Structure 1
Amino acid sequence: MSITIRRLSPQEFSLLAPQLVEIYIEAMGYSPSIRSNRVSSWRAEVIKPGFSAIIAEDGEGILGIAYGFLGSPDTWWDRQLRRGFFEAGGPTPEDYEILHSYFELAEIHVLPSYQGKGIGRKLLESLVWNIPARFVLLSTPEVAHEANSAFGLYRSLGFFDVLRNLEYPADSRAFAILGATLPLHPPA
């Protein structure tokens, strides 16, 4: 299996958004009823400062997607992050350091039949290799004992806990906010 990692222009990302959202829906187990809303939302994000997107593909098509942008206090996710810090008794000086220079890894998804083959790692490393921020942050659904491949991938790349058990208004699940210092330095 020959996998190619390819950076997308904002225009190409916008054109491919329906197909990319399908990967997201399948990987996350979401209802297809959210498709049109997510496509619109993803397309709107291409104008955010520092927007960057990459895909993994083979001869059959797109297998995975990762994208993000520079963190900013005017985004919904940054407000959720600040709310989580406040609820946890902060923000601490370390939290403020993160808030001042981070890249939000908005989405990273690989089709379920291709997970566990190193594609997610290639996507993540390629996406953040030259990002002009000190940290990369992401959220992932909480899983008992971190017993899934997503947590395994993030921990293997040096991601640490920023917030745990954060609840978003539109989702009944709890999420972990994880961060890593850039450039990535996997633990020894």
Structure 2
Amino acid sequence: MFVRTAGERDLTAIRALLVETWHTTYDAVYGPDRIDRVIEDWCSPAKLRASLERPNAEFLVADDGKRIGGVAYAESVEGGTVVDLQQLHVAPDLQGRGIGGMLLDEVIENFPEARSLRIEVVEQNKRAVAFYLANGFAEIGRADNYGPAQSGIAALILERMLTA
């Protein structure tokens, strides 16, 4: 896998990966109907397309030439000092192979002025929480509503300092 900037031609594959990872990870916790609503709200083709064009942001894919195995999306906030990592997903059958770490490294590399990287992680997603803690993140808070809408999904707010 190599990491590159996502393009318009990737949107169908990105959405399919997001649908698969969300359902695999959260159906047992929140039910497939609720996850369908979350996907429609947060991962619609229009929202994904808008993310490609957003300034001060980076939309990345991990690609092996045959398929997209991972995706990451991050935005620079707070005057460029903080990077808000909004998405980092790896196809379920490819998890544990270093793809998430490759995407995370590339996000950091694309925001050289940032002092910290933050992410909200659904607390019940133990595998993701463990990934971020193993990659230098620490818990700095909690949120009752994960994501951009009033989801009612509890999340941890994790941060990784990037500079001394």
Q: CA RMSD in A?
A: 2.6
The worse-fitting range, judged by mean Cα deviation, of 30-39 and 162-171 is 30-39
Aligned to 1:104: 84
Percent of pairs identical after alignment? 25
Asked whether the 8 Å contact 2:119–2:159 carries over to 1, the reply is yes
Query: TM-score, length-normalised on structure 2?
Result: 0.77
Aligned to 2:61: 55
| Structure 2 gap segments, 5+ residues each | 24-34
Query: TM-score, length-normalised on structure 1?
Result: 0.68
Whose Rg is larger?
1
Asked whether the 8 Å contact 2:81–2:116 carries over to 1, the reply is yes
Asked whether the 8 Å contact 1:22–1:35 carries over to 2, the reply is no
Q: How far apart, CA to CA, are the structure 1 residues paired with 2:139 and 2:63?
A: 31
Residue 7 of structure 1: which of 2, 5, 8 is its match?
A: 5
Question: 1:70/1:36 Cα in 2 relative to 1: closer, same or farther (>3 Å)?
Answer: closer
Aligned to 1:122: 102
Residue 14 of structure 2: which of 5, 17, 20 is its match?
A: 20
State yes or no: 1:148 paired with 2:154: no
Asked whether the 8 Å contact 2:76–2:82 carries over to 1, the reply is yes
How many pairs does the alignment contain?
149
| Structure 1 gap segments, 5+ residues each | 73-98
Aligned to 1:31: 36
Asked whether the 8 Å contact 1:21–1:35 carries over to 2, the reply is no
State yes or no: 1:113 paired with 2:111: no
